[in-house]
């Protein structure tokens, strides 16, 4: 039912497009992002010397990329504030309390001139309702900095300790002295040893 009414109003707005100069639309806030369970405020403003009647429309995005328009159902959680006018600019405001994910949609004002068959849609504001991600650990900035410094110190120790141990093992003077003496003895004795010649006794036949 709402969809048919919105289509009929859209047709009337298209037919009366030649009289659009009667209503001068002001820029709307194109995008608004609100956390779930918070309040949202959407506003539409325009200039018009004639009396107008405004209805709020929400366009819900469907899976296949199209939108489904319907009237905004006013309740205790969704209220349309009275129109305000300053210097000829009329503004309407829609208040949504405790927003839900289902409230995500493109909200527009449908302006109808009461004196003639002329209607027009405002540019609209897209409201996105998001669910915040909960942190596993709620740490302060000072705690985070302390953890980063501790990680850096541990990393430095993991690099220095094994390297120092290898360096000390390579510079062991006792091992170096023993190896040096072995080399010296080998040069003094020579590469060959004399074979002691003893008496050779031949076995008698």
φ, ψ for residue 17 (rounded to 5)? -65, -25
Residues 51 and 148 both lie in one domain: no
Residues 154 and 119 both lie in one domain: no
Q: What is the torsion angle, in degrees rounded to the nearest 10, for the CA atoms of residue 89, residue 17, residue 28 and residue 85?
A: 20
State mean pLDDT over 116-123.
Answer: 87
Residue 46 lies in a domain: yes
Judge whether 46 and 62 are in contact, CB under 8 Å.
no
Tokens (6 digits) for 16: 């009366």
User: How far is the C-alpha of 124 from the C-alpha of 42, rounded, in Å?
Assistant: 9
Residue scoring higher pLDDT (197 or 94): 94
Residues 22 and 57 both lie in one domain: yes
pLDDT value at 33 more than 50? yes
Residue 21 lies in a domain: yes
Number of domains present in the structure of the chain = 2
Residues 13 and 104 both lie in one domain: yes
Go through the chain and tell me how many residues it has.
205
pLDDT value of position 64: 79
In this structure, the strands spanning 105-113 and 125-130 are antiparallel
* CATH number for the domain harbouring residue 43: 2.60.40.10
User: How far is the C-alpha of 195 from the C-alpha of 79, rounded, in Å?
Assistant: 118
Residue 120 lies in a domain: yes
pLDDT tens digits for range 91-111: 999 999 999 999 999 999 999
User: How far is the C-alpha of 147 from the C-alpha of 154, rounded, in Å?
Assistant: 11
Alpha-helical runs (H) found in the chain: 2-15, 141-170, 173-189
Residues 146 and 74 both lie in one domain: no
Residues 70 and 40 both lie in one domain: yes
Partners of 47 in the beta sheet?
24, 89
State mean pLDDT over 66-76.
Answer: 91
Residues 114 and 166 both lie in one domain: no
Residues 107 and 153 both lie in one domain: no
Residue 189 lies in a domain: no
Domain that holds residue 151: 141-183
Judge whether 85 and 91 are in contact, CB under 8 Å.
yes
Residue whose tokens read 């639309």: 25
φ, ψ for residue 137 (rounded to 5)? -125, 125
Residues 48 and 78 both lie in one domain: yes
User: How far is the C-alpha of 129 from the C-alpha of 107, rounded, in Å?
Assistant: 13
**pTM of the complete model:** 0.60
pLDDT value at 120 more than 50? yes
Residues 116 and 151 both lie in one domain: no
pLDDT value of position 3: 47
pLDDT tens digits for range 135-187: 666 677 888 888 899 988 888 888 888 878 777 766 655 655 665 566 666 65
């Amino acid at each position: 039912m709402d969809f048919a009414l919105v289509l009929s109003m859209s047709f009337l707005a298209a037919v009366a497009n030649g009289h659009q100069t009667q209503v001068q639309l002001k820029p709307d806030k194109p995008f608004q992002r609100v956390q779930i369970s918070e309040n949202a405020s959407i506003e539409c403003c325009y200039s018009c010397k004639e009396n107008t009647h405004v209805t709020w429309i929400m366009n819900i995005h469907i899976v296949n990329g199209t939108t489904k328009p319907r009237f905004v159902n006013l309740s205790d959680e969704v209220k349309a504030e009275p129109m305000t006018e300053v210097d000829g600019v009329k503004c309407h405001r829609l208040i949504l309390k405790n927003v839900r994910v289902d409230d995500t949609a493109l909200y527009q004002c449908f302006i109808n001139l009461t004196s003639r068959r002329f209607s027009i849609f405002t540019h609209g504001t897209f409201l996105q309702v998001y669910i915040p991600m909960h942190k596993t650990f709620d740490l302060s900035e000072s705690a985070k900095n302390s953890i980063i410094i501790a990680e850096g110190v541990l990393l430095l120790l993991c690099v220095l300790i094994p390297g120092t141990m290898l360096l000390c093992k390579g510079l062991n003077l006792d091992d170096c002295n023993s190896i040096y003496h072995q080399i010296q003895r080998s040069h003094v004795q020579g590469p060959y040893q004399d074979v002691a010649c003893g008496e050779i006794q031949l076995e008698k036949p």
